[in-house]
């Protein structure tokens, strides 16, 4: 099938088509044929060789496999330090803040009613609904960061409050487990 285009149309696409050399004497000829282009045989034997050593550079690989070490020598310290990720909730006089802390002490993900994106949807930044909203936002951010499991160790007076219960329910309903899998010791 041969197409013949007028010179005016060819001139518009001239700059884009220069590298394909479509232009010939004022007409562009485009051909569509059903025969595939002939490609030379390529040696694929070298692509099938498997490297004898594999180095995984994912720093969380051992955590995800359940093999990473947890600090166990803190039996008399509360809260317990046997975790990879820990949920911490801080309620101040005016705001609610929740964050996920890694074993090394770094804050990985956080959400707070101090953030305008959360605060603008709330009537109060301290009530039960604020805690639930912070829990939903934190759960979404955790899932986006690849954190599906974490430990939450509330104090007895925190565990009995309605706002903390609603925050925990919002986290679990969003898909975050508030307990970590058991460590594999083999």
* Model pLDDT for residues 20-58, shown as the tens digit of each residue: 444 444 555 555 666 666 666 667 777 778 888 888 888
- The pLDDT value recorded for residue 4 is 56
Is 22 in the same domain as 88?
no
Mean pLDDT computed over 102-129: 95
Residue 145 lies in a domain: yes
Q: Is residue 183 part of a domain?
A: no
The model's pTM is: 0.68
- What does the pLDDT read at residue 25? 47
Asked if the structure places residue 144 within a domain, the reply is: yes
Domain assignment present for 130: yes
Q: Is residue 94 part of a domain?
A: yes
The number of domains in the chain is: 2
In a domain, 53, yes or no: no
How does the average pLDDT of the chain come out, rounded?
82
Q: What DSSP line would sit under the chain, residue for residue?
A: -EEEE-HHHHHHTHHHHGGGT-EETTEEEEE--SSPPP------GGGGPPPS------TTHHHHHT-S------TTSSS----SEEEEEEE-SS-EEEEEEETTS-EEEEEETTSHHHHTT-S-SSSHHHHHHHHHHHHHHHHHHT--B-EE---HHHHTSHHHHHHHHHHHHTT-BSSPPPPP--
Judge if 156 and 100 occupy the same domain: yes
100 within some domain: yes
**Considering the chain, what percentage of its residues have pLDDT values greater than 90?**
48
Residues 96 and 162 in one domain: yes
Is 106 among the domain residues? Answer: yes
Task: Look up the domain containing 132 and give its range.
Answer: 77-173
Same domain, 84 and 13: no
- The CATH number assigned to the domain holding 99 equals 3.30.420.80
């Amino acid at each position: 099938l041969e197409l013949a285009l007028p010179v005016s149309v060819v001139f518009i696409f001239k700059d884009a088509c220069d590298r394909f050399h479509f232009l010939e004497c004022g007409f562009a000829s485009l051909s569509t044929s059903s025969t595939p282009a002939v490609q030379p045989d390529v040696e694929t034997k070298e692509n099938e060789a498997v490297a004898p050593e594999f180095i995984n550079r994912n720093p969380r690989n051992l955590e995800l496999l359940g093999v990473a070490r947890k600090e166990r020598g803190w039996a008399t310290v509360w809260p317990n330090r046997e975790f990879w990720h820990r949920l911490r909730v801080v309620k101040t006089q005016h705001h609610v803040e929740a964050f996920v802390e890694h074993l090394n002490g770094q804050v990985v993900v956080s959400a707070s009613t101090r953030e305008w994106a959360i605060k603008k949807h709330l009537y109060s930044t301290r009530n039960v609904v604020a805690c639930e909203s912070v829990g939903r936002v934190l759960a979404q951010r955790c899932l986006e960061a690849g954190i599906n499991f974490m430990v939450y160790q509330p104090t007895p007076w925190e565990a009995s409050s309605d706002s903390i219960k609603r925050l925990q329910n919002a986290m679990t309903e969003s898909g975050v487990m508030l307990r970590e899998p058991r460590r594999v010791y083999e």
